Structures are given as structure tokens and as C-alpha cells.
Structure 1
Amino acid sequence: MATGNFASIVDQVKLDVLPKDPAVANAAKRKEITRTFITDTISVPTEEMYAYATLATLGDDVYHEPSTLALEAHIATLTGKEAALFMTSGSASNQIALRTHLTQPPYSVLCDHRAHIHKYEAGGTAFHSGAAVLPIIPSNTHHLTLQDVKDNIILGDDIHFAPTEVVALENTLNGTIIPQTEVVAISNYVRSVGVKMHLDGARIWHVAAETNTSIKELCDPFDSVSLCFSKGLGAPIGSMLVGPKDFIKKARWLRKLFGGGMRQTGILAASAAYALTHNFPQLPRVHALARRLEAGLEEIGATILSKAETCMIFYDPTPLGTTFDEIADRASALPEPLILGGSRLVIHIQTSDSAVDDFLAMVRQLAEEKKAAGFVKPEGGANGVIRDVYVRRVPK
């Protein structure tokens, strides 16, 4: 028997999540983002992007969503692939790609030991696909080479091993670029032995901007590619998986199976389209700002562990007598706080010039304080080891 009336249920259900003054709150968040160096996923939609997105179509992506279909068709053409599929995230795009390629175990996936699919997707390759991962340390410490792949790929029918069915590269990886000549050489060999090539191209936009190489040329050596809109391009959500038509047809089925079928995605597709048109051209400025940050740290005396090839720098403050925690604490106490992690500094399209200037001034002041207190730089300086497992700190 009913115990209340509908009006009371309505009162229980209703909710307002907006801040008291949304314009002020969002302006404050956008200001904070300009001073955040933790990652580029924290970049936020501009008012102009929001305005454009609200004009998108209102279809259902599981059935037919015109704006999303237009985005998929454009990215397929841009990458030179037959078809494309919009995904919620880069992890979903990578994992569904691998699951689509991998049909019957036993099998293995060969990748760089720092690869996102290996370290930062919660063990998804094993969980979703039941695949062994062969994480390879590049012999040159920068990128996998053809010889690295030849030395570690598993071929043949020896029952002690899981044959390699996918070689997965990542470009950029920790902000560094794999030379395209090496990518082509690896692809030619891998495909010649009947193994598939996948690219985690979340930040492939940076490679295109830095090397003046077309997206198609960068994607040609691969059977499937994942491209992200919500990192360097600043869209709120979304990645795209591209490949052959039959591959994408199967991937769409798996997307549904994994719970990734979406409904009114027009606003997300429109945001991605806006990012491609208006944010991609900003990447050269991002790279220039990253190089200015790197040069400033070198001038102060910090050790650069991984140079600013695109949007990331890894550094070690040990030669200055300070630590990442001390730097982050000082940064959070500034009149306009800076938000930092550990060894990794990421520049994005919303990073301000003043944030870089303030960061360098703060580190320089810390270094001068340590020197005045009697710190002497140790013989040999820092150890030169890239600590790509960076500390994630909650802003104070």
C-alpha cells in the first residue's frame, strides 16, 4: 500500500548540483587549471567549446547519432583507416582494440615496459583478453627499436610460450617521440611475420605538430590506432579507435559488451570537433613553453631526466638540495598556488606563461636558500634515472 504522495517523492528525488554562482566557480577552476602541471587531462572546456557543443544533434549513439557519425567518418579519413568508433576513454579504446585483435589464447602482447596499456590500465590486458604482456626495456633507453622487437617477439609453436599476436607502440610515450623510420621498420617486420600492430596514439597530435608529419602517415604502419581528444586537445571526454571495417564492427560489439555503449553523444562529438579545429593549432605553443621550462630548470641547476620533446619534462631537483615534496609544498603556499606532482611536469593548452615563470622563480629561490644554508651539490649530480611513476598530490 502507498504510504505517501507523489509530491513528497518529487521532493526527495530532486537535486541541484550547481554552485551558488556557476560563472565565478568555473572561472576559478579555469584559473587553477592554468597553474596545474600534473597532467593534461585536467584541461577543461572553454565557454566557446560549450556553446558550440550545445548546437550538436540529439541522436542515440547505440542507434544513430549524426554528429558522432560525422566525427567518426572524419577521423577515419584523417588517419587513412576504413572506419572509426567513438569511445569514452583511451583505456577503453586500447583495451577494446586488444580484445578485438586477440581471439583465442594463448597469446602475448609486446610493448614498452613504460606503456600505458601495461602500467596504467589496471591490468586490463590480462583481465579483458587473458593475454600475457611482454614489457620490454628499450636498449637505447628512449624508444623500442626493430632489434628490441626481434629479440623479444615470440613466434613459432613451442608450447612453453604464449605467441605474440600484437605489438603495441605508444607515441608519444612520456612525451617523447618514436622516430617514424623506426616505427615503419618495426611495422614492416611485425606484419611480415603475421603479427598485428596497434598504436596507443593518445598524444599523436603532439607528434604531428612537432614533426610536421600528417596524421595519416603516422598511423599508416598500424592495423589499429587509439587517439585521444581529452588530453592535449582539451575536449571533456572521448577517444577514437580506428581500423578496418570488420575490426571496428567487432569492436563496436565489444564496446557494448563492456558497457561502453553511449546515448546522446552529440555534445561530446561536437566538443571533440571544436578541439580539433581550435585547440590542435595551439600545440606548437605548448611545446615551446615546455622547452622554456626545461631551459629554466637547467639554468637553475636541476637535472633533466627526459627532455621536452613535446609537452612533458622529467626532472630531478636533487642537485639543488631539495625534494619534490618540498617543491610541491612551497608551490601550494604561493599567493596563486601551483599544483604539482613529482618528477613529471606537463604543459597543456591552458598552461599560462606566468605559471611557468612563477614555478621557475620558486625553484630558483629554493635553490638559493639551500646554497645559503650550506648545501653543496654532490659530486656527479643526480643519478639520471627517470622516475616516471610520479606522485599524485591532492591540492591543498
Structure 2
Amino acid sequence: MPQSTLDGTVEPLSPSRQALPAIGLYLLFQLVSFGLLWLMSWKADVSPGRFLDDFDANWFLSVAQHGYDQPVHAGPGGAPAQNSMVFFPLYPALVAVLTFVGIPALPAGIAVSMLAGCAAAWGLYVLGRDFAGPRVGLLMAVLWSIGPGSTALHLAYSEAVLMALVAWALVAVARRQWLLAGALALFAGLTRASAGALIAAVGVAALVAVFRGRDGWRPWAGGLLAPLGLLGYLAYVGIRADRVDGWFWLQNAWQMHFDFGVFTWIQVKEGLTSDHSSWITVTALIVLIAVALQLWTWTTRLPLPWQIYGTLTVVIALCSSNYFQSRARFLLPAFVLTVPLALVLARLSNRALAVLLPATAVLSGWYGAYMMTITHLAP
């Protein structure tokens, strides 16, 4: 079927080829961001490769190479010691597949992230195209790929894998492919704990279909399938830790827990009113912008599963204690925040977008590189 492209021409494209601009721009902007990381590394007089397997990446790559080989034990005062089981298994398992065929762990981790990012950009394009046309779909994919936390997309982190599963699960929900949606949510639950937002979105959508008498037994099956990955892994960690709340208990080693946004609120106030490091102020502004965008999405007529997923993802991102500098990365899966912006930017000329989008990509890439190379904080 003929589709309009960004330059206004109309030509017949296969469904897969329609997404090539979104995938191509995703790769281009990741290359720009990656290049900025290398330049900032040299400016900081540090080997560029030092940051690629640091922070969470080091834990993921350890699981990929050695599995969950750490015993669970408590440190002084009964607090748990840091343990790799906090890091969910799907991403390191995919990395392990590539290492099995001879690819070193770090390149394998980056390759998995980049390939998953391509799949995510494709899925976001499809979501946006079906919602408001190909131009909006393209902008949704691009805006997600150049968000403030997008540095993680070309590191050995699991955000890209999660986003690919989220995007295609929501495509499956829209197309009433309940078994596929449930299976993708299951795998998302093996990727990050924040997949609970997707599980809730799939579950509610399935319940709506059941109450409306649609699609027979399939919504039941998809809804019941969705939480099995997350629940299964939490049960595994609970057995290893010999306590029901094992995974949540292990999170305490990083001083991480759900605090209803108290820590984030304190950090935002300090970032805006105190003479602290500049990164705290920038991160505070990112948090406020995310909240404003979340409110904006509530005034936009979005599909119910998108609203549920987006709202819960923002709540999870902003209501965890510690690691304030990582709020932008925690918000990265909240692609719904890009929808109102995409709808507005779709009205701009191609010339304006050709200036605005690359400039945003450079600013975002610099921010991520600055956090890692100058402040030496995890993205």
C-alpha cells in the first residue's frame, strides 16, 4: 500500500521496508552518541573502553560468562551483600549465546543492545504509524532513541531488549494477538523488574477483551501468560535467598527500594535550590519535564494499554530510592512520553526537523558521556 515518507513523496513499500528510516536514524544517532562518549573519554584522559563494561554492564557481563555463581549471604548488621541475581537473566542469556559462538563478552553485549534497539525502533514506528500515521511513527522511534537516557542503548545494558519486547507486545495487543502479547510480556518479565508495567497493560487489555466477549479463550491465555516470567524469576531468587522477598531484599545492597518518590522529590528540590553539582540540576529538570509530559499524555487520546504502561513506568522510575543520576535511564522505557511531542513535531517542516533532531541527539549524547566520563556516575 502506498505510504507517505518524510519528504512528502508517495511510493509503495513493504511493511518491513517502511521501518527502515526509523532503524537507520536510530543507528545513526547511536553512532553519534557513541562517538561523543569516546571523545569525552579522551578529554577526561581515560581509556574510552573503560566505560563500556563498567557500572551495571559489568554485572550483566559477569552473569553472561559465569551465571549466578555468587552465594547469597548477609553482611554486617544483616544487610545483604551485593549479588548478581538482582540483574534479570534474559539480556545476559542473549549475550551468552553470542559468546558461545566465539564473540567476546563486551562486543556481544553491545551487539545485543544495538540489535534489540533496532527491533525497538521498528516496533515503535509500527505503533506510531498505526496510531497517527508514518510520520508520527518515525518521530516516536527517533525521539525515544535520542532521549536523555539513551546512552544505555549502545552499552551492555538491558534497556534496549526491554523496549523491543514492550513495543512489539503492545503491537500484538493492538492486533488482538493475545498469545504473542502474553509471551512477549513473559520475556520482558525476565529482562527488568519494571516490566511489571507492561504486564499490567497486557493484563488489563486482556480483561477488557474478556468482558467484551472478544477472541474467546485467547485473552485469558495471554493475560495469564504475561506475568509468568517476572513471577518465575522472583520465585527463583526467593528460593536461592531462602526468603519470599529475596529479590527485593537483595536490592537493599544498593540501597534501592520503592519509596513513593520521597528520594526523588528531595533530590529535585536540592537540584533546583542548592549550589550542588550541575548534573543534579540537569537531572532534576529532566524529572520535571518527564512529569509534565506524563500529564500531557493524560490529555491525549491514547490507547488504554499505552496509558497504563506509560504511567506505571514513570511511577516506577521516579519512586525508587538512590541513584538519582539514573532517572533519565529509568524513564527511557516510558516511550509514551514521546507521543505528544511526536504529534506536535509532525507539523514541522523537514528542514526544521533536520536541525532539531540532530541537535537534540548531540545534546543527549553529550549528557550521557559527561555523566560517565567526567562525574564518573552510572548512566
TM-score, length basis structure 1: 0.27
Greater helix content: 2
**What is the TM-score when the length of structure 2 is the normalising length?**
0.28
